[in-house]
Structure 1
Amino acid sequence: MVIFILKRLAFAVLTLVVATAIAFVLVQLSGSTPGGVALGQAATPEQVHAYNVALGWYDPWVVQYANWVGQVLTGNLGVSLIDGRDIAADIAKRLPVTAALAVFGTLLSLVVGVVMGIVAAVRGGAVDRVLAATSGILLSLPAFWVGVLLVFLFAVQLRLLPATGFVPLQTNPEAWARSLVLPVLTIAITSAAGIARQTRASMGEVLTQEHMRSLRALGTPTTRIIYVHALRGASLPILASIAVQFIVLFGGSVVIEVLFALPGIGQAMQSAVGSADLPFVQALVLVATVVVVIVNLALELMTRALDPKLRAS
């Protein structure tokens, strides 16, 4: 196990290097320069050139990338070219917003999706067809459209929840929870269907296996067969689906954050790309890659723990 973890950590480091190097090259090829972004159109070419020289923009790419990595290893992600704010501090404020969306959205879609999938696999017949049709409809719904409908219903018509905005947990826990309800519901409604389909397929396959029939013949309670033996056997593809779902939510929550005016990582990425804030873009790519690496590492460890064949290898 120790060797396995060390190999995966080495691969994680390599993934970080490759992803950040690609982002670095794309930034260099973007056509924008730090001086042009920071000083604006009113600056003269000489002023822009002097600004870029001071930052080492014209140094070889390898040197620039090495300097950036060394800076990151000290915890310094640089400053924004737009307003000079500290990037690390800004990301630290935004990270809990996106993390809360991704975690709670994944958990709710997990519960709903797994329950739908198990019911469809166990009951079969008309129930299976109805749930399959329901999941198909949910998969086709755009997240933005679902969010608008939820805002209209719960914020405009019923006035039960805020339509937009975010309140930090430490400021007001109740208001924090209320500000997350509609975004999390939007995520769960549009994400649970994929998990439901994966659960249905995995459970349906496991329930037809020989050892399941043996457990029934031995008089094992049905609930234990379904929720212990069958669910454990079907858990690997379900876990993979959940991990992918979390990564997608964390890295692709721009639509949700913009719709509900949430100051998260997705909103920051949209703003940074739109304003060509090059250091901010690189820092956000680094953060997103770290999250992907951590989730994949956790998934591999859980897969190894749940699969007897992998534990024995």
Structure 2
Amino acid sequence: MLTFLAKRVLSGIVLIVLIPSVAFVLMRAGSSDVARQILGQTASEEQVAARAAQLGLDRPLISQYADWAGRALQGDLGVSWFTNEPVAQAMATRVPATLSLVMVTTVIAAIIAVALGLAAAYYKGWLDSVLQVLSIIGFALPGFWLALMLVVWFAIENPIFPATGYTPISDGVGAWARSIVLPVTALAVGAVTATAQQVRGAVRDVLQQDWVRTLRARGISQASLIFKHVLRSAGVAGLTVIGLQFIGLLGGAVFVERVFAIPGMGQVLVTSTAQGDLPLVLGVVLVTTVIVVIVNLVIDVGVGFFNPKARLS
């Protein structure tokens, strides 16, 4: 087990180093005159050159990268070129909002999807058909359209929940919960339908195995068969798809944060990328990569628990 974990941790470290490095090269290679964008079109050439030198943009690319990487290793992610806000401080205020949406959505989607997928696989019939129809609808519904409709229905026409904004959990659990109900619902619909389909397929495959028929012939109770044996065998596929949904939701949170004006990582990534704000972009990429690596590590540990053979891979 320790060797299994060591391999996963090592591969995660490689990703944490590689992905921000690639992002750095792409941003610098594709960036225009950032100093001019910061100072505006009325700035003189001398002012633009001085600002570029202040930011280190006149140095070789490898020197710029080495400087950023060295400071990042010490926990210094730099300062935003446009707002002068420390990147670490910007992440500290935005990461909790995004993680609140993604984590709550993942938990809710996992619970509902497992229940729906298990019921559809076990009872089949009309319940299975309903799940198929709901899955098609869930895939077809554009997320941004659903988010806008939720605002119209439950914030404007029926002012039950706030239309925009985010309340930190430190300001009260009730206020925090009300502020994320609509964005979580907008994210959860697609996640539930996709995950339920995968769970249904995994459970159906397990139910067709010979050892399941053997256990039934021995008189094991249905509850014990389903919850003790079938779900554990299907847990590998379920955990994998839940992990993928979590990672996908990090990207899907971008449109939700813009619709509901939530100050999260997705919103700041879109803005900073359009501006060419390299320190802020790299900060978001680095934090996101770390989150993804941690989630993948947790999923790998779960898969290793459900399927000991996976530890040898």
| Matching residue of 2:295 | 295
Question: 2:165: which partner in 1?
Answer: 165
TM-score, structure 2 length as denominator?
0.95
Kindly indicate whether the alpha-carbon contact (under 8 Å) linking 1:118 and 1:203 is maintained by their aligned counterparts in 2. yes
1:108 partnered with 2:108 = yes
Q: Which residue of 2 aligns with 1:85?
A: 85
What secondary structure is seen at the aligned counterpart in 2 of 1:170?
helix
Contact 1:135 1:193 in 2 (8 A): yes
* Structure 2 CA distance for aligned equivalents of residues 188 and 227 of structure 1: 24
Query: Hey, what does 1:201 align to over in structure 2?
Result: 201
My pick for the range that moved more, 30-39 or 257-266, is: 30-39
Distance 2:30 2:180 in 1: 35
CA distance in 1, matches of 2:8, 2:58: 36
Match for residue 253 of structure 1? 253
Following superposition, the deviation at residue 35 of structure 1 comes to: 2.0
Aligned to 1:144: 144
Distance 1:63 1:181, change over 3 A: same
| 8 Å Cα contact 1:37-1:81 kept in structure 2 | no
Mapped contact 1:243–1:299 kept (Cα < 8 A): yes
- Equivalents in 2 of 1:76, 1:33: separation in Å? 25
Identify the range of structure 1 (26-35 vs 294-303) with the bigger mean alpha-carbon deviation.
26-35
The equivalent of 2:223 in structure 1 is 223
Q: Displacement, 1:258?
A: 0.6
Q: State the distance in 1 between where 2:44 and 2:193 align.
A: 55
Unpaired segments ≥5 residues, structure 1: none
Measure the CA separation in 2 of the matches of 1:211 and 1:141. Answer: 40
Q: CA deviation at 1:34?
A: 4.2
C-alpha separation in 2, matches of 1:68 and 1:307: 41
Written as runs of structure 1 = structure 2, the 5 A alignment for 1:1-313 is 1-311=1-311
Over the aligned positions, Cα root-mean-square deviation in angstroms equals 1.5
Distance 1:215 1:128 in 2: 24
Task: Tell me: higher relative CO, structure 1 or 2? Use CA pairs within 8 A at least 6 residues apart.
Answer: 2
Q: Within 1, Cα distance between the matches of 2:100 and 2:135?
A: 25
Structure 2 gaps, min length 5 = none
Please give the per-residue CA displacement for 1:264-283, whole angstroms capped at 9, x wherever unaligned.
00111111112221211111
User: Which one-letter code corresponds to 2:102 in the other structure?
Assistant: A
The answer to whether the 8 Å contact 1:139/1:191 transfers is no
Q: What is the aligned length?
A: 313
SS at match of 2:57: coil
The sequence identity of aligned pairs, in percent, is 39
Alpha-carbon distance in 2 for matches of 1:32, 1:279:
15
